[in-house]
Structure 1
């Protein structure tokens, strides 16, 4: 039996700002952008394929993620130092530079919505 992750939903305050970050700074491609109630259903895919991020509008009464804490979504890079340099050049803000960990290397970046994510290399 083969089971893979196909999508991860990221709840955002401003869908267009999220699209601009993930496409302009991270190099993802919009694969789906269609009406979804009063908002949009937007999927973006990493440059090399894989699981898509769904950029879904958060409802005003939903709790916000804990600020300053990374989401447990780990993006993987073949060369974290080179990837870090490229992303910084594109305007991505890192809150933790690449560091050696017992399992490999890790860094933490944040999107323009304030969400934080891990970038790793084994």
Structure 2
């Protein structure tokens, strides 16, 4: 059997502001942006450059209940982990783009890590692993 995670749904307030953040600030690729008239929503998929395996489905909140989870999808914990092959390059580019880091870079037993917020406040790790860790 062969399985993988194709998409992770990320609840957003607005499609276009989310696309602008992920594509322009994090330098993700816009994979698809298709209007679905039968549900009056869009199928918006972005992914980090060089990674064809897992992508984010930017899912606009469609009711008040879903809106309460914008920016808090993991209850205040780090929600997503962005692996890089060059921590210094990507950290510098993210700082230059105005990304807010809430924990500065540090060396850990598994590599280099810093915590940043996306446009809604969800926490992410930016990580460069060492020693064969994935």
Shorter-chain TM-score bucket reads 0.7 to 0.9
Runs of 4+ residues deviating >3 angstroms: none
Separation of aligned partners in 1, 2:121 and 2:80:
14
Q: Which has the larger radius of gyration?
A: 2
For structure 1, list consecutive stretches of 5 or more residues without a partner in the other structure: none
Equivalent-residue separation in structure 2 for 1:20 and 1:42 (angstroms) = 12
- Residues 1:14 and 2:17 are matched in the alignment: no
Answering whether residue 79 of structure 2 is matched by residue 76 of structure 1, we say: no
- Provide, for residues 57-77 of structure 1, a one-character-per-residue CA deviation record: whole Å limited to 9, x for no partner: 123222422698244311101
Tell me the distance in 1 between the aligned counterparts of 2:75 and 2:103: 11
Q: 3-state DSSP class of the match of 2:65?
A: coil
Cα 1:68/1:79, change in 2 over 3 Å: farther
Per the TM alignment, residue 80 of structure 1 is displaced from its structure 2 partner at its CA by 1.4
Describe how 1:36-51 pairs up with structure 2 within 5 A.
36=36, 37-50=39-52, 51=54
Q: Report the counterpart of residue 60 of structure 1 in structure 2.
A: 64
The runs of 5 or more residues in structure 2 that have no matched partner are 130-134
Question: How far does residue 87 in structure 1 lie from its aligned partner after superposition?
Answer: 1.1
> Alignment partner of 2:85: what SS?
coil
Cα offset for 1:19?
0.4
TM-score normalised by length of structure 2: 0.80
Which structure is higher in strand share?
Answer: 1
Provide the aligned C-alpha RMSD in A.
2.0
Aligned residue pairs total 122
